[in-house]
């Protein structure tokens, strides 16, 4: 379980713990309980997105556990859909964008 604020000052420790959990995960499933997280920063969201990408490429699964009313769930509901709608084109199609 992750507790308190998950921000730039704590994200490295959480990443170390997460990578350790991955290394020892039975059945290739890692559960991250965010119910006790009071604040989820952009660096924490980036860590979770990176961990999810590592999971897909590494053949294991990452599952987040959080009550729908928790601060972490509210942040993720707002941020993650935006990430999925963001263009990743690199062909110059957006070179003239403001």
Note the pLDDT of residue 94: 45
Where are the alpha helices (H) located in 2-70, listed in sequence order? 11-24, 42-58
The residues, any chain, with a CB within 8 Å of residue 23's CB and separated by 6 or more, are none
Element of type H or E holding 93: none
Query: One digit per residue, pLDDT tens: the chain, 98 residues?
Result: 789 999 999 999 999 988 888 777 766 888 899 999 999 999 999 999 888 888 888 888 888 999 989 999 999 988 877 665 554 444 454 444 44
Note the pLDDT of residue 84: 56
Per-domain boundaries in the chain: 3-85
pTM of structure: 0.74
Note the pLDDT of residue 55: 83
CATH code, residues 3-85 = 3.30.750.24
- Interatomic CA distance for residues 32 and 44, integer angstroms: 12
- Interatomic CA distance for residues 68 and 16, integer angstroms: 26
Of 56, 13, 74, 75, the closest CA to residue 2 belongs to 13
């Amino acid at each position: 379980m992750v507790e308190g604020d998950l921000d730039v000052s704590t994200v490295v420790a959480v990443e170390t713990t997460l990578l350790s959990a991955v290394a020892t995960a039975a059945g290739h499933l890692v559960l991250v309980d965010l119910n006790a997280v009071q604040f989820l920063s952009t660096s924490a969201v980036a860590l979770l997105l990176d961990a999810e990408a590592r999971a897909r490429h590494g053949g294991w699964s990452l599952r987040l556990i959080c009550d729908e009313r928790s601060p972490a769930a509210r942040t993720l509901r707002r941020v993650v859909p935006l990430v999925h709608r963001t263009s990743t084109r690199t062909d110059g199609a957006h070179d003239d964008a403001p």
